[in-house]
Structure 1
């Protein structure tokens, strides 16, 4: 079978016709990026064969968003020297036509003939699924399903059996099945298919396990009993020794001795604290005496400083008085200069004010002359803006409503066009008379499109009733009426008679919008802040001009040559100099007053200090403090000596070690007493437990349990030997059956090995009774490696799946059945080396079969010896 041409129209992404022509009998490579339409072409081929033309559930074939589309597919292919042409249309005006040379079939008859030819079935209802696809489902690999072979072979098994004759029937009816079934049934009574025990076998396993567990428990309890007897003897011996020796009493004695040593150290520490307090009191007394002696010395030094301070204060007062007199003279000169500068500044300011008033009046007058015509022009522009705004509001239509009206008109026109296309066309040529059609007279030449039933009055000859055909005509009439009502409603909502009137109003609105923008631009140039702001500016200008004071009529005083800035600078300098002179006088006066107060204070303090020093009693007091100092130093030395000696005694006693020893002896005594009491409790408990265990006769129970366990194990071994014998027999029968299977399936195996040798020279791909590839056997240095197909990598399973499909194709071709191989992005998981080997396999298979290979990796398929056809070139005209 050779596909020659494929054409699709209104099919998914192909809204316009697309043709794939000049397909070659061998390899055909069609390449393109993702979403370019490769899988859509594959879906079109599948739909042409697998989907019934009358199905209403294949809406996925329509272009997205276009529910009115009628997907069409046209195929041309060769089979047994004859040209076949298949044309299908779905959903709208459904039809199916099959032409073979001069023969023609249509509808379901054509579909059934194709199904019988290619070997597939149609579903009872709904869309076609994988279980209906038969042989094409096996040979046509969908994107991402190249590794899945089991399901496809299962769905095509009946057609493969037909190609093999009665091979599978011979296997199914062989006499060995009865023996295999009997062995399998007996084995099933003892174990499951996964090898797990069941029935009597499982009961024996469970009983043996329970008996073994019972023996283990009893053995453990006997061992525990013996261990506890030994433990009881040891505990009784230890308890008797402790009861006689009472070792905790020794630690209690040592605890008391340690506490006595700690009490002695505590007494020493208490005496140490008392001496430390005496030492602190002695230190305070010494510090007070030394401070008093230092005070006497400081008074003598202070008298010398006071005499020097009085001399300095007297000299300072004399110098400040002289400086004050000089500053008063400077202040008087600065004040005179300030009066002259102030008069000059007043004259300059009056002159500048006259000039500013004249300049401001001239500027306001010029601005007033400019604003008056500008306001008049702006008011005219504002009137134009208001007028165009009114026109725009009257003519403007909402953009969304106008767009909806346009779309409604387009849809209505399309329905009318489809209605005219589907309507019955009546052409007439009445040269010598006239007839009546639905009450309207027809004469001369012309044509009428009839969309509904009509009566043609032939006069004396009678009447003709014309019924237009087409299943969609009634639906188109209803659609037309609905669209006309919708169109009329939109026109009424917009206040127009039709779409042309709406378009004219929209043009008027656009004109008004342009004129409005132009007027607004002119108005913005004349009055950026608005006409009201411009009028307010005019009124403010007039008000400011009226508010300006009249210029004085009397003649101005004599003009000066200096500027206002210069006059202000001279005045500020004179004022600053005057204030500085005034401040300096005040500062010198305050300094003089402060110096006189300091001089008076120094005289008073010197007088008081001289009186205190002259007192003879102070000298006698100083001598007594010296004697007290010597006595306190002797006392402090004695206290320090006692503290040092006692500190050595405390350090030698190590009170921290004594406290640790006391704690250690206390805890040891408590632990020994507690252990003695706890051991006594444990002994009582052990004696009670041993009495209870002895009453159970554990030794006798263990002997009985061991005997029962041995019997259970013996019976279990008998059943296990039977299971092993049945399993061995079943395996031997399976081997014999496999040998028969290999002999009967030799043709298929030969085709598989033909391709497999190009990929794995020393490997075998084994198939099961149902012609399913199951295991890949590869020969290596260490021996044969058997890999189930499902354990191989994704890429390896994809390669084995393609090889198997090519072998099935060879088998079908040898049986005289048509073959067509379609690969949609196959072998994408193969590495470069494996891909090269698979290309050799495809090139070899292309000698016998037509192969359509769709790929998004054009660069990987350049070396197949055939041109790579690009989807961009096929869809360039769409």
Structure 2
């Protein structure tokens, strides 16, 4: 199907007939400013093809003009090699009409025409292609509602018959539904369904398995108790044998005697070790006393020599310190004199600077006072004009009132056009004789009578004109009421007064802008900045006589400061020299004190010894005897260690045999108790016939498992069948996606040369875009990129649909709103490429941008009568 022309009458703003003609087979472009009716054309086409003539819903009511009238839409199109003209109208009373002409002759009308039109282009709600290929303004994506989703799935059916057979057909749906229903009776997503056949079979098997395990355990326990009874009886006989008891007692006595002998020997060895330790300690104390006395004698000799040397250094340090202190005092006196002279020079320089700044500040203060006065006047003027600019009617308010006035004028004109009218043409030589409501009726002038009137004809009588039911002035009354309401809201009496008020306000706004510019020129940073600058100026001071010039005072201060610096350097040098001499004296004094303290400590260490050297000689003479005593004690301890028995081994043997004796007695008592308990359990279990019941339960369990396997087999078959059907549907969808991707690939390369579009076969929507090796999900792409992909996918679907034998035009109402100027030319190339096989109609308000699109230029033109 290809559109050839479109005509509208009484559709929104088009109260008079308009037409879009010359629509070509390929690319067609209607580029016009906003509010020219492009979206109205789109909505009118949608109504013609998909709104029944007897309907009067919200969308159709929106097509009716404000002044009233029945919407009429007609289209000329080509289908199947023949030309058709479809004319359709709607009325408030749901008595619309439809007629279809073929080659100029009436072919269908009424219900027959509606049926023919439904067969020509299926509605979007039924999966028709217009839901996918006719893009309304503002709907840019591919998931804009059920209509486009249905259209995608219907398009999938048209691309390959296998999808209808395997995924969309009712037979497949019935099979899958039945299979899943049967499967739901057995299992859920979490396992067997509670109370279902599989759950019952599993429960019975589990119950019997638990009972079998219990009986097996009881039978095994009985056999284990019989075996234990035999084993315990044999063990008790061995423990109660008299010969074995006597052997255990003999071994225990021998171990006790060996352990006592080992204890006695260990005590002798401990005493020998203590004697050796005592002799060794006496020797070590003697050696330490000898070493200590030798060190004390050496320290006393060194301390005396060190003290004499320290006294000589202290005397020399005192002599140097006296000379350095005198030099420091002289340098301090010179520095104080230089400081006073420098301070006086600085004071004279500052007073000279202050006098010079006071003179400059006086000139600056006069200038700022003048600017501040001028800026203050400008600000008062701005405040006055700002108040005036808020009064009167704004431009938006005037636009609203003029729009309502225009609607009133249009309503009145429409009323006059529809109302009865009278035209008086006087005979030649006559120009009066007839009056309307007491006023002469002019010659050859149409006078509308929306409310009727009375015509007085001289010499004949009065002619009364009644408007009847056709003169409906409700639109005029409504428009007049809306205009009056708007005027009252703004406190105005008429349209002229509104215009004067708006002009006065506009003039005040212009004057306000000029006054603000003048204020900005007078005070660029504001009045507060001028006031702050004025306040920052130094206060006026009285002139001081005898002051030198600033340059002369500055040079004098520099010379005084240099002299002060020289004096300060000399003072610091003298101070450092005196400080170094004082530190040297302090070090010498501390060294002397340290040497005296050392000599005193050495003397205290030797106090109490009349002849320290004789004492040292005595200590050295006693050392050999103490060394021999240590060697004798070591030899006695070594001899005892060589012959010592193993006390730990003797103690371990005694402990083991004692424990074995006690364990044998305890084990004998324990076995007697265990045998009593086993006899009781064996007697009870022997009467319960556990083996017979176990055999019966095993038979029941085998039958239950066979029943469970049969149910499980049926579940497995249903699951495998469901999976096979789903795989078949997925494979068919994959085969559907291939022609879509093949058609999309060259279009995508035109926009993104290195990109690849990934398509989701489940949703039949783009899933992501791969660029430079990075996968970007569709929903995180920019608005412009999503818009471009959506447009390319629609163009690809349109080409596939055309190849299936049911072509439909592509209509885009401002569908490229987020695409930048650089990429829009690539989109134009894609549209031109697809237009070789398709009819594409582009509606856009971007006149400048769409000049480079090319194609057939369309326009909305008034229909010329005749």
When normalised by structure 2's length, the TM-score is 0.58
Q: 2: CA distance between counterparts of 1:657 and 1:30? A: 115
1:130 paired residue number: 126
Equivalent position SS for 1:551: coil
Shift of residue 506, structure 1, vs aligned partner: 2.7
1:691 paired residue number: 687
Q: 1: CA distance between counterparts of 2:738 and 2:84? A: 33
Q: 1: CA distance between counterparts of 2:38 and 2:272? A: 109
Query: 1:146 and 2:138 equivalent?
Result: no
Equivalent position SS for 2:808: strand
Q: 1: CA distance between counterparts of 2:679 and 2:66? A: 95
Q: Is the 8 A contact 2:345 2:560 kept in 1?
A: no
Shift of residue 572, structure 1, vs aligned partner: 3.9
2:228 paired residue number: 238
* Alignment of structure 1 residues 16-415 onto 2, 5 Å: 19=20, 47-59=47-59, 73-77=73-77, 84-89=84-89, 95-98=96-99, 100=101, 110-117=109-116, 130=126, 142-148=151-157, 232-233=222-223, 235-246=225-236, 288-327=285-324, 330-331=327-328, 334=331, 338-339=333-334, 343=337, 346=340, 350=344, 353-354=347-348, 356-358=350-352, 360-396=354-390, 402=394, 404-415=396-407
2:134 paired residue number: none
Q: 2: CA distance between counterparts of 1:9 and 1:284? A: 133
Query: 1:455 and 2:453 equivalent?
Result: yes
Q: 1: CA distance between counterparts of 2:280 and 2:511? A: 112
Q: 2: CA distance between counterparts of 1:508 and 1:333? A: 84
1:217-265 superposed Cα distances (whole Å, 9 cap, x missing partner): 99997998689657634531331221331499699989999x9999999
Aligned match of 1:568 in 558, 561, 565?
A: 561
* Alignment of structure 1 residues 507-546 onto 2, 5 Å: 507-524=507-524, 529-533=528-532, 536=535, 540-542=538-540, 545-546=541-542
Aligned pair in 2 of structure 1 residues 796, 587: CA closer, same or farther (>3 Å)? closer
Aligned match of 1:428 in 413, 423, 426?
A: 423
Equivalent position SS for 2:365: helix
1:721 paired residue number: none
Shift of residue 498, structure 1, vs aligned partner: 0.9
* Alignment of structure 1 residues 636-655 onto 2, 5 Å: 638=633, 645=641
Shift of residue 563, structure 1, vs aligned partner: 3.8
Q: Is the 8 A contact 1:68 1:92 kept in 2?
A: no
Aligned pair in 2 of structure 1 residues 800, 533: CA closer, same or farther (>3 Å)? closer
Q: 2: CA distance between counterparts of 1:597 and 1:788? A: 103
When normalised by structure 1's length, the TM-score is 0.57
2:467 paired residue number: 466
Q: 1: CA distance between counterparts of 2:738 and 2:520? A: 76
Aligned pair in 2 of structure 1 residues 394, 841: CA closer, same or farther (>3 Å)? closer
Q: 1: CA distance between counterparts of 2:587 and 2:201? A: 121
Shift of residue 580, structure 1, vs aligned partner: 4.7
Shift of residue 360, structure 1, vs aligned partner: 3.3
Aligned pair in 2 of structure 1 residues 2, 692: CA closer, same or farther (>3 Å)? same
Shift of residue 445, structure 1, vs aligned partner: 4.8
* Alignment of structure 1 residues 733-744 onto 2, 5 Å: none
Q: Is the 8 A contact 1:248 1:672 kept in 2?
A: no
Query: 1:419 and 2:411 equivalent?
Result: yes
Equivalent position SS for 2:539: helix
Equivalent position SS for 1:498: helix
Aligned pair in 2 of structure 1 residues 569, 20: CA closer, same or farther (>3 Å)? same
Q: Is the 8 A contact 1:72 1:90 kept in 2?
A: yes
2:145 paired residue number: none
Q: 2: CA distance between counterparts of 1:600 and 1:192? A: 110
1:793 paired residue number: 732
Q: Is the 8 A contact 1:435 1:456 kept in 2?
A: no
1:789-829 superposed Cα distances (whole Å, 9 cap, x missing partner): 8565126569999xxxxxxxxxxxxxxxxxxxxxxx99999
Q: 1: CA distance between counterparts of 2:557 and 2:647? A: 96
Moved more, 269-278 or 94-103: 269-278
**Structure 2 unaligned runs (5+)?**
31-36, 130-148, 162-178, 187-195, 711-723, 741-762, 768-794, 813-826, 843-852, 861-866
Equivalent position SS for 2:86: strand
* Alignment of structure 1 residues 851-870 onto 2, 5 Å: 851-852=807-808, 854=810, 866=837, 869=840
Shift of residue 380, structure 1, vs aligned partner: 2.9
Shift of residue 413, structure 1, vs aligned partner: 3.6
1:482 paired residue number: 482
Q: Is the 8 A contact 2:349 2:554 kept in 1?
A: no
Equivalent position SS for 1:114: helix
Shift of residue 500, structure 1, vs aligned partner: 4.0
Query: 1:501 and 2:493 equivalent?
Result: no
Q: 1: CA distance between counterparts of 2:504 and 2:72? A: 42
Equivalent position SS for 1:376: helix
Residues paired across the two proteins, number: 694
Cα RMSD over matched residues?
A: 7.3
* Alignment of structure 1 residues 687-836 onto 2, 5 Å: 688-689=684-685, 691-693=687-689, 793-794=732-733, 796=735
Q: Is the 8 A contact 1:389 1:516 kept in 2?
A: no
Q: Is the 8 A contact 1:406 1:499 kept in 2?
A: yes
1:748 paired residue number: none
Q: 2: CA distance between counterparts of 1:300 and 1:683? A: 96
Q: 1: CA distance between counterparts of 2:401 and 2:653? A: 111
Equivalent position SS for 1:55: coil
Q: 2: CA distance between counterparts of 1:708 and 1:334? A: 125
Q: Is the 8 A contact 2:386 2:509 kept in 1?
A: yes
2:771 paired residue number: none
* Alignment of structure 1 residues 601-616 onto 2, 5 Å: 602=595, 606=599, 609=602, 612=606, 615-616=609-610
